[in-house]
């Protein structure tokens, strides 16, 4: 979910676009920014996420199968990773994964992945 003010990195993780793309949009579209408190040097900025920014991001669709890969890192929230996983799957893979979840349940899936003991 969008916050009132976000760093380009936070927007990148939320939307799947790269930080560089977000920064390019900030300059090109003239979005309002402010210095990030506590960061020296003046380069760290917060983007004021208003309706103009939300609308631009909603309308920034990529052609199917093209565009940059989502900017994910080891510290990306689980929810973002799971949503990205679902978006990257083909419709057939989504259907098979849904069937697996319904058949095995969360516990069965975690056990199958070796994440949870079968006790």
Q: What is the mean pLDDT of residues 66-80?
A: 61
Average pLDDT score over residue span 81-99? 86
> For the chain, what is the domain count?
2
Distance, in Å, from the CA atom of 74 to the CA atom of 104, rounded to the nearest integer, reads 27
Q: For residue 95, is it within any domain?
A: yes
Domain end (from 59, 87, 102): 59
pLDDT interval class at 39 (50, 70, 90): confident
Cα-based angle 86, 77, 83 (whole degrees, multiple of 5): 10
**Host domain of residue 17:** 5-59
Residue whose C-alpha is closest to residue 80's, from 9, 24, 25, 22: 9
Residues 105-118 have pLDDT tens digits of 988 888 888 888 87
Asked whether residue 15 is domain-assigned, the answer is yes
Looking at residue 63, its pLDDT comes to 43
The secondary structure of residue 48, as a DSSP letter, is E
pLDDT at 48: 95
Q: Check residues 42 and 7 and name the one with the higher pLDDT.
A: 7
pLDDT score of 71 more than 60: no
Q: Is residue 64 part of a domain?
A: no
**What pLDDT, on a 0 to 100 scale, did the predictor assign at position 29?**
94
End-to-end CA distance of the chain: 37
Question: Which residue did the predictor score with more confidence, 75 or 9?
Answer: 9
Q: Apex CA 85: angle with CA 44 and CA 15, to 5°?
A: 30
Q: What is the pLDDT of residue 75?
A: 61
Q: Is residue 34 part of a domain?
A: yes
CB-based contact 29:74 (threshold 8 Å): no
């Amino acid at each position: 979910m969008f916050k009132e003010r976000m760093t380009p990195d936070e927007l990148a993780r939320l939307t799947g676009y790269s930080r560089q793309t977000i920064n390019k949009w900030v300059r090109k579209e003239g979005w309002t920014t402010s210095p990030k408190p506590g960061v020296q040097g003046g380069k760290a900025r917060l983007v004021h996420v208003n309706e103009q920014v939300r609308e631009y991001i909603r309308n920034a669709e990529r052609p199917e199968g093209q565009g940059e890969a989502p900017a994910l890192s080891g510290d990306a929230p689980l929810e973002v990773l799971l949503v990205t996983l679902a978006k990257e799957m083909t419709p057939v893979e989504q259907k098979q994964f849904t069937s697996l979840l319904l058949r095995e349940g969360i516990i069965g899936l975690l056990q199958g992945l070796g994440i949870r003991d079968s006790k």
